[in-house]
Amino acid sequence: MSGGLKIAFICPRYRAGSAGGAETLTREWAERLARRGHRCQVLTSRSRSNLSWENELPGGQEEMDGVLVRRFDLEYSPPLPGKPQPVGRLLETPSSPALQAFIRENLETFDRFVFAPYLFGLTAPGIAATGKKSVLVPCLHDEPGAYLPGVKAMFAAAGRILFNSAPEEKLARALAAFPPENAAVVGLGIEPPEKISADDFRSKFGLPRPFLLYAGRREPGKGIPLLVEYFRALIRHRDPGLDLVLAGSGEVELSEADRGRIRDLGFLEEADKWNAYAAADVFCQPSTHESFSIVLLEAFAAGTPALVSARGEVTREHCRLSGGGLWFSDYPEFEEAIWHLRENPPTARALGAAGKAYVERQYRWEEILPRLERALTGEPEKEKRDER
Amino acid sequence: MTLSIATGGIDPEAIMAEIRARVEERKESGGYRAYDLAAVRARELDNIRIDYERLSDCLPDLWRTANVDLGDFPIPAKTPGLGVPVAALKKVIWKLLKFYTFRLFSQQKEFNARAAVLLQAVILRYEGRLAELEERIGRLEKRDRRE
């Protein structure tokens, strides 16, 4: 590509501790595009927490790995104590009048304004202000907020829409009208480290027994309470001799009785996380709210078979297309799938190998980045996609 | 678009069919009869509740479209001068086509009302199912505490 684009990425949080999918995607895209000669800035908030949205980090600007990061104050109206945020306000709060003013003052400075995700109060007004220059990365999944009338308007107004997966695009088409030529599936590259060691992980954390792994944010919306409850039922009724290892940020409610068979390792460093994927006998992704599922693809990349919720369109599609995993729609299927993998090691190995091959084929940065550049510049897409 | 077929030598759909068949076998042979799944059901209930809330959010919009007024409405001239004959022409067209458009719009209104009623019924069923499951979980929890 001749001559770099000047791109502003707008994301509610950025490099502020534990990261969700939209933050991870923004960081990977911004830093990698900057290394390819594009001038990238990130417009974000001073917040660390996606629950309290407090302005904790210093404001102003700083250079981080080739990307200029500008932090603005957020305004946030919390819900009533003990209540979730009303669905009707999910596209409004938190907001940042200062960030929106910066966008309006710099409409001519940038070639593209990339907004992720569709939720919260930065994206809808930002897209309205930037029109054809706007690029929406919705990170959409089937949840109440996706059905708000404002979502339709947002998709109609966005200059370009970049999806993380084909099922996400399919859901968006069911919810909103937008020209097909304005949309593309891009996603993220998955790059395992050169050295991954299952033995290092087992010895470092004292895990000699086979285990089922969950890694990622531990929030009720991610299905963790359901996974813990399924696992308790599994060892109570038909114990397959597996432990459950939970890794990631957030709290998990475990009883003393759980702790013999469920290990909560909390947030893991990058190297430990990859070693954990390799050491796990099965990786479980119970979340139904994924537009991409980085952790599932990382587990695939480590050669580990997966078990996902059948209600998660995106994760089930990854498993179906890759042959890298199985899915469950209720407890009996969960139990039977675990037993199937335990009793058939060659099948488990074949699933692991198929998942790994899928990631190597579909999610290499060498292919993703040119696809992203074409999508940002509006060039026609010639994407390779697995289909069965 | 170039398509590549991912076979990987393994068919997860076939494995899932096998797994589902084994679940059915176990169900028929009473393999799950002794299971205590009250807590599991309670967690699964959370997911049903999310679906229910989404349906409930849609209902007011659907009723609004079902209650739309099909009667005549004013067609004002938006600009002076040419706007007046344009508005007069619109009125004539409206009256000429009314025999057809009224039928069309009333059918749509009828459809929207029926869809709203149907959705209302689905929501009521969800409410019934939620209440039934909550009651069942309460009973099972009481039984657990007694034991």
With a cut of 70, say whether residue B18 has pLDDT above it.
yes
Amino acid A384: pLDDT: 44
- Chain A hits for B3, CB-CB cut-off 8 Å, are 384-387
What are the backbone dihedrals phi and psi of residue A192, each rounded to the nearest 5 degrees, phi first?
-70, 150
- Chain B hits for A358, CB-CB cut-off 8 Å, are 6, 8
A186 CA to centre of own chain: 13
Indicate the Cα dihedral angle B12, B15, B17, B22, nearest 10°. -150
* Substitution target from A169, A226, A234 for chain B, most B beta carbons within 10 A: A226
If you measure CA to CA, which chain B residue comes closest to A231? Answer: B40
Distance from CA of A229 to the nearest CA of B (A): 6
Nearest to B23 among A333, A351, A387 (CB): A333
Contacts (Cβ under 8 Å, ≥6 apart) of A7: A30, A33, A38, A39, A40, A41, A110, A111, A112, A113, A114, A376
Predicted confidence band at B49 (pLDDT cuts at 50, 70, 90)? low
Q: Which residue has the higher pLDDT, B145 or A103?
A: A103
The end-to-end CA distance of chain B, in Å, is 62
Amino acid B62: pLDDT: 76
Amino acid B3: pLDDT: 34
Class of domain A198-362: alpha beta
Mean pLDDT calculated for residue range B86-103 = 91
- Chain B hits for A361, CB-CB cut-off 8 Å, are 4, 6
CA distance A275 to A194: 11
Mean pLDDT calculated for residue range B26-34 = 89
If you measure CA to CA, which chain B residue comes closest to A310? Answer: B16
CA distance A131 to A124: 11
CA distance A69 to A61: 5
Predicted confidence band at B87 (pLDDT cuts at 50, 70, 90)? very high
Distance from CA of B58 to the nearest CA of A (A): 8
User: Where exactly does CATH 3.40.50.2000 map onto chain A?
Assistant: 6-189+364-377, 198-362
Do the Cβ atoms of A229 and B39 come within 8 Å? yes
If you measure CA to CA, which chain A residue comes closest to B24? Answer: A332
B10 close contact with A: CB closer than 8 A? yes
Half-sphere exposure of A287 (CA within 13 A, CB side): 25
SS3 of B124, please? helix
Predicted confidence band at A281 (pLDDT cuts at 50, 70, 90)? very high
- Chain B hits for A350, CB-CB cut-off 8 Å, are 8-10
With a cut of 80, say whether residue B5 has pLDDT above it.
no
Predicted confidence band at B2 (pLDDT cuts at 50, 70, 90)? very low
Amino acid B146: pLDDT: 76
B144 close contact with A: CB closer than 8 A? no
Amino acid A385: pLDDT: 45
Query: A198 and A275 in contact (C-beta within 8 Å)?
Result: yes
Do the Cβ atoms of B8 and A340 come within 8 Å? no
Crossing angle of the two packed helices A345-362 and A294-301, in degrees rounded to 10: 110
Amino acid B114: pLDDT: 82
Query: A108 and A8 in contact (C-beta within 8 Å)?
Result: no
Q: What is the mean pLDDT of chain B?
A: 81
Mean pLDDT calculated for residue range B74-91 = 90
Distance from CA of A386 to the nearest CA of B (A): 5
Distance from CA of B1 to the nearest CA of A (A): 5
- Chain B hits for A360, CB-CB cut-off 8 Å, are none
pLDDT digits (tens, 9 = 90+) for A97-151: 999 999 999 999 999 999 999 999 999 999 999 999 999 999 998 877 787 778 8
| ipTM score for this prediction | 0.81
Do the Cβ atoms of A358 and B8 come within 8 Å? yes
Which CATH number, 3.40.50.280, 3.90.420.10, 3.10.310.10, 3.40.50.2000, labels domain A6-189+364-377?
3.40.50.2000
Mean pLDDT calculated for residue range A292-300 = 94
Mean pLDDT calculated for residue range A296-305 = 97
Q: What is the mean pLDDT of chain A?
A: 90
With a cut of 90, say whether residue A303 has pLDDT above it.
yes
Do the Cβ atoms of A347 and B10 come within 8 Å? yes
Predicted confidence band at A245 (pLDDT cuts at 50, 70, 90)? very high
Domain layout of chain B by residue ranges: 36-146
Q: Are strands A6-10 and A39-45 parallel, antiparallel or unpaired?
A: parallel
- Chain A hits for B50, CB-CB cut-off 8 Å, are 143-144
If you measure CA to CA, which chain B residue comes closest to A288? Answer: B47
Mean pLDDT calculated for residue range A194-204 = 95
Size of interface A-B (CB pairs under 8 A): 119
Amino acid B58: pLDDT: 67
Query: A223 and A207 in contact (C-beta within 8 Å)?
Result: no
- Chain A hits for B42, CB-CB cut-off 8 Å, are 229
With a cut of 70, say whether residue A383 has pLDDT above it.
no
Predicted confidence band at B66 (pLDDT cuts at 50, 70, 90)? confident
